[in-house]
């Protein structure tokens, strides 16, 4: 995917006005971690900041995470892992990264011996998240991995087990848990500000370009729009209700069977929650949609755009919502670093990522069989 194609790209709004900047992540869930990290708190370095190493220097690492790491207080960009020597040179120059903190995919495991690197952040294509997370854990490093956490629930379970065994923390890059508009929707929903949530509509999609990119190859992406951005719509429903869906029904529509030969193009799905709330969702690689709408007993809240890096907009039946724009990636990485340093539990756990993957698997199964599927 070229930099201008992804809705999260900073160039999107300038090059393609019909696609507003968008990004992924999601706001906080109430689901407690079943396996809280139990290691002893990491002592902070002299300058009080922990070192992150970014693995995979693609668009998200380059245009969001590295700039965000220039704004963090609890952590900094200590190292990189890349298969491209030219990128290594460029990043070394731009961010003053010492040679000793630059790795490639062959010598990646040697990161175990590097005391500068406390946290490894995996920003590779989806199907590589599990392997590089497990190897980081075995190297004794705390791990943040991008969404989707992996391409199956079984992989997520293996990642959680590896991190537990190594006694390191595992987080997933759901940055919207630190974004004010989404946090407000979570508060309204979970604190029942307008009463019980009865109905939700959430959707995230964009028009994808280059047909050769990894996002359209099942072996690298694990799925299509659902894995990439549909996961935001799932997260939104979970953090707005504070509940876990019991069951799903789903439908898939493919208008271009060549381009989307191995991954889903557009999907609609519906979920039922224990309280009786019901929801309807959309994800697509064919059209732009970016909305979070929740209707409660005495009112409603809506965000649109809902998940972008900036320019979010929201209102309730009482009027507009106004919050400052933040760089949620910086808040997200600072939060995780602080939790590593202090031993406190972090928000976006591996269990949260695993639960999303169980829901996605149920949605795929429901679409394939045309039946209502209970979430595992």
Residues forming a β-bridge with 120: 53, 143
Report the nearest approach of ligand NAD to the CB of residue 136 (Å): 15
Nearest residue (CB) to ligand NAD, 292 versus 373: 292
Query: Please, which residue, 126 or 284, has the CB nearer to ligand NAD?
Result: 126
Q: Residues interacting with ligand NAD, by CB under 6 A?
A: 1, 6, 8, 23-25, 56-61, 83, 123-126, 146-147, 173, 175, 214, 220, 228
Q: Is 147 a catalytic residue?
A: yes
Cα separation, 13 vs 8, in Å, equals 9
Q: 306 CB contacts (<8 Å, ≥6 apart)? A: 181, 182, 202, 204, 232, 236, 290, 291, 292, 312, 314
Nearer to ligand NAD, 228 or 290 (CB): 228
CA proximity to 31, closest of 174, 140, 165: 174
Half-sphere exposure of 238 (CA within 13 A, CB side): 29
Instruction: Let me know: does 281 contact 293? Beta carbons within 8 Å.
Output: no
Number of C-beta neighbours around residue 76 at 10 A: 18
Sort strands 75-81 and 142-145 into parallel, antiparallel or unpaired: unpaired
132/273 with CB nearer ligand NAD: 132
Q: Of 191, 185, 149, which Cα lies nearest the Cα of 170?
A: 149
Collect all residues with Cβ–Cβ distance below 8 Å to 46 and sequence separation of at least 6: none
Residue 94 or 342: the one with the smaller Cβ distance to ligand NAD is 94
- Tell me the residue nearest to ligand NAD as measured from the CB: 58
In whole angstroms, the minimum distance from the beta carbon of 96 to ligand NAD comes to: 20
Q: How far is the CB of 132 from ligand NAD (least distance, A)?
A: 9
Euclidean distance between CA atoms 268 and 284, whole angstroms: 9
The answer to whether 307 is a known catalytic residue is no
Q: How far is the CB of 105 from ligand NAD (least distance, A)?
A: 7
Q: Which residue in 147, 174, 239, 309 is the catalytic one?
A: 147
Q: Work out how close the CB of 20 gets to ligand NAD at its nearest, in angstroms, rounded to a whole number.
A: 14
Q: What are the catalytic residues?
A: 147, 232
């Amino acid at each position: 995917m070229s930099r201008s194609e992804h809705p999260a790209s900073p160039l999107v709004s300038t090059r393609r006005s019909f696609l507003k900047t968008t990004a992924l992540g999601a706001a906080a869930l109430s689901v407690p971690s079943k396996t809280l990290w139990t290691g002893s708190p990491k002592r902070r370095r002299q300058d009080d900041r922990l070192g992150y190493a970014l693995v995979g220097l693609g668009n998200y690492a380059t245009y969001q995470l590295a700039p965000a790491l220039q704004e963090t207080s609890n952590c900094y960009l200590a190292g990189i892992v890349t298969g491209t020597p030219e990128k290594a040179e460029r990043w070394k120059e731009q961010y003053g990264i010492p040679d000793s903190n630059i790795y490639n995919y062959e010598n990646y495991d040697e990161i175990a011996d590097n005391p500068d690197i406390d946290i490894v952040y995996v920003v590779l294509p989806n199907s590589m998240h599990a392997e590089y997370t497990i190897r980081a854990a075995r190297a004794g490093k705390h791990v943040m991995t991008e969404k989707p956490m992996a391409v199956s629930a079984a992989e997520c379970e293996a990642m959680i087990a590896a991190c537990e065994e190594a006694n390191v923390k595992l987080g997933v890059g759901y940055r919207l848990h630190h974004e004010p508009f989404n946090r407000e929707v979570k508060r309204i929903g979970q604190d029942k500000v307008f009463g019980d949530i009865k109905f939700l509509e959430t959707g995230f999609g964009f028009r994808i370009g280059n047909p050769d990119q990894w996002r359209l190859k099942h072996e690298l992406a694990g799925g299509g729009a659902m894995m990439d951005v549909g996961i935001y719509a799932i997260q939104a429903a979970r953090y707005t209700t504070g509940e876990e869906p019991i069951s799903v029904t789903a439908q898939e529509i493919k208008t271009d069977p060549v381009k989307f030969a191995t991954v889903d193009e557009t999907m609609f799905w519906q979920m039922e929650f224990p309280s009786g709330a019901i929801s309807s969702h959309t994800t697509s690689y064919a059209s732009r949609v970016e909305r979070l709408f929740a209707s409660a007993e005495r009112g409603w809240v809506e965000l649109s755009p809902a998940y972008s890096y900036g320019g979010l907009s929201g209102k309730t039946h009482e009027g507009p919502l106004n919050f400052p724009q933040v760089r949620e990636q910086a808040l997200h990485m600072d939060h995780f670093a602080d939790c590593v340093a202090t031993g406190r539990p972090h928000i976006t756990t591996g269990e949260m990522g695993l639960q999303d993957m169980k829901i996605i698997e149920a949605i795929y199964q429901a679409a394939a069989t045309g039946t209502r599927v209970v979430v595992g």
